[in-house]
Amino acid sequence: MKFKILLLIGLFCFNYILSQTIPSVALNNVRTFEVTACKPSKNTIIAAWMEKRPNRTDNDESAANTSVAYKFSNDNGNHWNEKALIDIPDTFGTGNPYLTTTADGKAYLAVMHIGNNFYEGNISVYEFNFDKKIFELKSVPFKSDSMLLDKPAIAAFGNEIHLVYTAYPKANKNSLKYQMSLDKGKSWSEPVTIQIGDNVSHLGASIALLKNNQVIISCGTYSGNDNIYLIKKKVSLDSIAFEKPVIIKKGPDNRNAVMSELSSSNDHLVVSCQSPHQPDKVFISYSTDQGNHWSDTSSITQKGNLLSAHFDQQGDMHILYSDFNDNQFSVLYKSFDQNNSVVNQKTICEPADFKQQEYIGAFQKLLIQDSQYYCFWIDYTNNSELRFTKWKN
């Protein structure tokens, strides 16, 4: 009897600890829209995000008047350097940052720049200078005066950098573009159009590397399609070619659009399926064999957004997301074992009353290194500031 009482007390304490909110710190008190982060080495972290320019009004529904900002920490997030900005003056905006790192500790950042004319701009790639603690422009893979170039994503290993983005012409349907560099971003191949299908409107591409460094891309859609596609790059140095796209998440969910985030670890892949910029149903699907077979989509929440999902080295899955059910906002973390059962969960931000008034971003970020967890999330109940939470299991 005494043992049972002690066991119940222990279980109660364990669940109580899990339910406690973890302390967080503010990294940025300017309205934040999208967050990306990476760990180039054991103790370093780089976080980048899209934030409103000073002249942007809070009730502006568009993504205009934004710049990209970033911070660096060399002690695992205990201290951060001063915020730095990436922007081009007198333009429509700079945004959609996407960070990646290599095994030898290099860090690259891709952003889009939009000129005064909405259908002009470029995709730029920056490399982090660890001595100066700043991003320096490496190259401009592509620029155009007749297309909006949107949502770049990059992956890198060795001397190679792989880039994917969406190109919106003025009149025709958009297309998914791919470029690669074999010299650490100094020069780039010409853009290659990734063929997905007829009458497909592409949205929110993401990119990852499989165990053998094979490039794999996910792409969402809108305008009534609402599918998530997965595309593998054929392994060849002679030409750039892709395998036939496969559908991971197929509608109908009766949504106008669905976008994805793709993450890989060894042979494991996980892709998120979520509406851009508004609370809605959030799903995940995963593969344990390099994307050859996929699980059925699992519902995470009926009204959420900004899901970041990852597999660890042991094959367990971890997710961070924002929840907007019952007119309240909260940020939650969960981990799943290999039977897809929840084994751990934490409240990153306690539920609070929420009324959507403005444009919601598209990405948050969860990083895992050994048994240390790093969360970068947007606090929608506090002027959409960027906050950072870490803990150790």
- pLDDT, one tens digit per residue, over 144-189 is 999 999 999 999 999 999 999 999 998 888 899 999 999 999 999 9
Q: Both 13 and 58 in a single domain? A: no
In this predicted structure, which of 53-57, 120-124, 315-319 has the lowest mean pLDDT?
53-57
Q: Both 133 and 225 in a single domain? A: no
Write down which residue in 194, 221, 255 finishes a domain. 194
Q: Is the pLDDT of residue 18 over 80?
A: no
Q: Is position 271 within any domain?
A: yes
DSSP tag of 22: P
Q: Both 66 and 110 in a single domain? A: yes
Q: Is position 160 within any domain?
A: no
Q: Is position 161 within any domain?
A: no
Q: Is position 283 within any domain?
A: yes
* Confidence at residue 93, expressed as pLDDT on a 0 to 100 scale: 93
Mean model confidence pLDDT for the chain: 88
Q: Both 124 and 45 in a single domain? A: yes
pTM of structure:
0.91
Write down which residue in 194, 227, 253 finishes a domain. 194
Instruction: State how far Cα 207 lies from the chain centre.
Output: 10
Q: Is position 6 within any domain?
A: yes
Q: Both 3 and 40 in a single domain? A: no
The band of 254, judged by pLDDT with boundaries at 50, 70 and 90, is: low
Region 368-388 average pLDDT: 93
Count of the separate structural domains present in the chain: 2
Portion of the chain with pLDDT greater than 90, in percent: 63
Quickly tell me which residue has 């997965």 as its tokens: 230
How far apart CA 19 and CA 216 sit, in angstroms, is 36
* Contact by Cβ (8 Å): 311, 286: yes
How far apart CA 221 and CA 259 sit, in angstroms, is 6
Q: Is the pLDDT of residue 70 over 80?
A: yes
- In DSSP terms, 94 is beta-bridged to 113
Q: How far is the CA of 375 from the CAs of 76, 127, 320, 365, in angstroms?
A: 12, 23, 8, 6
Determine the structural domain holding residue 130 and report its residue range.
Answer: 31-150+183-194
* Residue (of 324, 298, 276) closest to 33 by Cα position: 276
Q: Both 10 and 42 in a single domain? A: no
